[in-house]
Chain A
Amino acid sequence: MSTVSVALTGNPNTGKSTIFNTLTGARQKIGNWPGVTVDKRTGWLNYAGRAIAVVDLPGTYSVNARSPEEKIVSDFFATEKPDFIVDVIDSTNIERNLFLTVQLLERGIPLLLALNMTDEAEAKGIKISRRAFEEAVGMPVMMTVGKSFESMKQLLDVFTSSVMQTYEPSEELKAHIEKVEAIAASGAKDADEQIAAARYEFINHVMEKAVVYPDAENSLSDKIDSVLANGVLALPILFAIIYGVFEITFTHIGQPLADMLDELIGEGLTPWAEETLEAMAVSPWLKSLVVDGIIGGVGGVLTFVPLIFTLFFCLSFLDGTGYMARVAFIMDPIMRRVGLSGKGVMPLIMGFGCAVPAIMGARALDSNKDRMISILVTPFLTCGAKLPVMALFAAMFFPQNAADVVFMMYVAGVIMAIIMAKVLYSTTFADEESTFLLELPPYRMPDMRSVLLETWDKGKGYLVKAGTIIFAMSVVIWALSNFNMSGMTEEMNESFLAMLGAAMSNLFAFHGFATWESGAAVLTGILAKEAVVSTMGILYGVAEISTEAEDAIETATQLSTTMGAAFTMASALAFMVFSQLYTPCVTALGTIKKETGSWKWVGFAAGYTFAAAWVVSLIVYQVMVLLGYNY
């Protein structure tokens, strides 16, 4: 079977990824472009007896090779010769999109122009003549709607045809290319400006021939933005939306599903495993390893999968509507006050998923100052791995206000990040300037297929980690909690883990959680944040405890003998705050080393976050005690 190679190129936010997702579905692979941390998305499918390989190039505005994305696209076209290069153009913004198109055509690259999101253009009253467009450019033009399978079928029909061989650049395009080559050869000082002017001249020619705009009026996006992104209501609405996401995650959908899974593991899997292992006559230590160690540890972490997926679904949905791009815009004035630009919000938002891509995402920031500050404050945010810690403690100690308490933790993380950004800006990086340029895509109804794929992409890492790193950590924690110098011990209080945890817990004498169990959880949490929960799961056996508020009597009885006995409301909140802010996990530290190239910054990031967590947690505990919540 012969293979057709297809490359998708275009500006950011043109629906390129939606086309890629609709074409390839789940048959895709995310890797890296060589030498840079920009995602390389490749996918494949079979159609009409042909294998079609699709690569989704990073969205760029030009091929000047200034940014990593531009360099990737430029290098790709210099070395690769795919059968079809689809230039995806946002039909509601053709003029700006054509700037990249013209640059590619000047390089002699044959393009299949996909005028995408034609449904939105139509809704805005923009009229496009496909035939006139083809004549003006001399390249085949398709009218597409990225989320429409019918539209994609038409694209696939083209991919399996020989259509590109019948097209050649229009006379106007040939004349434009000759003109640009002449300007470049002249060596004029203002050659760049002259070339840009020539490009716009050609673009205007195409627009006049093929596109008719309706009379100027405020678009629907502009109207929505006048409320959501401007004026006094923008910030309250932002907080209300985020709060709504938390309510959905922790009260209405995520938590009930998590409770069901919790019950399934506690009342289904655990007894089944015990009975099966007994029937197989395995040694008692191995049974303990499987039931208390692995099911207790990994199961405790898996319980939170519904919460993680619900939260990521909500964030992906918001991203799909175009609202997340507004968040950078809304937050710009606040970010400016601490010395960062609104652009710095985007890597920080990633930090709510995982600090690792957030730290890497800081590469997109323009100045070294922005980049370093972003890298150093990201660990304060509540990543997906800290979420189970927050959810566990909130459900146990604040069952009536679990969503509010977790929301407060997120806000506390953001406030801490902002304060530390201000401190770092005023001290360490005081002398550097930064700029901010942001494009706001129009609001649109997200394509559910893309939202679900994105949710899966983000969430699957959590599952993989539970099956690998958390599995290994659970075995280590079980071994450390069941052995001491004289061999296996029944008494966890005399185990290696108790010794290590007790040494660590000395640091928390005034925080209300100076127990060896908490010390051990803090230690293992540096290896992976989920390990805080798996440690608690093994030491307290909480994987078997229902977090349903309705089962209050049963839960209270169980808790009184486990975690409930070790924490008060004050110390539980102090522990949550400490877990939220302290030293990032080794993976994040490894990434900081890779991004900054300096062990000094790794040490600084590990040390100052621990110190900050220690101080804030101490304050929280003492204030809670003063307020009388130490019960």
Chain B
Amino acid sequence: MADYVIGGAIALAFLYGMKKVYLNASGKESCCTQGTCGCGCSGCTKGK
């Protein structure tokens, strides 16, 4: 049971992380590591 719960949680977090990788690499979302312009998500095109 613990395998499924922990494994499932990791799988979900993994998919979310991979989605971020895809969005960043494709230029659809440029949430950067950090910046000097108040950049939590500078250049983010989400919700445009």
Contacts and interface: CB of A to CB of B under 8 A. Distances in A.
Interface string A348-377: 011011111110110000000000000000
B21 A356 contact: no
A196 interface: no
A354 B39 contact: yes
A467 to B, nearest CB: 8
A475 B6 contact: no
B36 A34 contact: no
Contacts of A39: 37-39, 42
B9 to A, nearest CB: 10
A381 B20 CA distance: 24
B33 A384 contact: yes
Contacts of A458: 34-36, 38-39
Q: In the complex, which range does the number of interface residues on chain A fall in?
A: 35 or more
Given A280-B2, A290-B6, A472-B17, A461 B31 contact: yes
A354 B32 contact: yes
Interface in B3-48: 3, 6-7, 10, 13-18, 20-21, 24-27, 30-45, 47-48
B5 to A, nearest CB: 9
Contacts of A356: 30, 32-33, 35, 39, 42-43
Contact of B33 (A283, A385, A454): A385
Interface size class of B (residues with CB under 8 A): 35 or more
Given A289-B10, A352-B36, A472-B18, A30 B24 contact: no
A356 B24 CA distance: 10
A283 B3 contact: yes
Contacts of A281: 2
B36 A471 contact: no
A473 B22 CA distance: 12
Interface in A550-609: 586-587, 589-591, 593-594
A37 interface: yes
B27 A31 contact: no
A469 B34 contact: no
B40 to A, nearest CB: 6
A497 interface: no
A438 interface: no
Nearest to B42: A357
Nearest to B39: A357
Contact of A527 (B21, B26, B38): B21
Contacts of B30: 356, 360, 587, 590-591, 594
Contact of B38 (A41, A294, A475): A41
Contacts of A475: 10, 14, 17
Contacts of A457: 38-40
A627 interface: no
Contacts of A589: 25
A173 to B, nearest CB: 35
B32 A282 contact: no
14 contacts: A31-B41, A277-B2, A280-B6, A319-B36, A356-B42, A360-B43, A458-B35, A458-B39, A460-B40, A461-B31, A461-B34, A461-B35, A464-B31, A472-B21
Given A312-B34, A468-B13, 6 more contacts: A357-B37, A357-B43, A361-B37, A460-B40, A462-B33, A464-B40
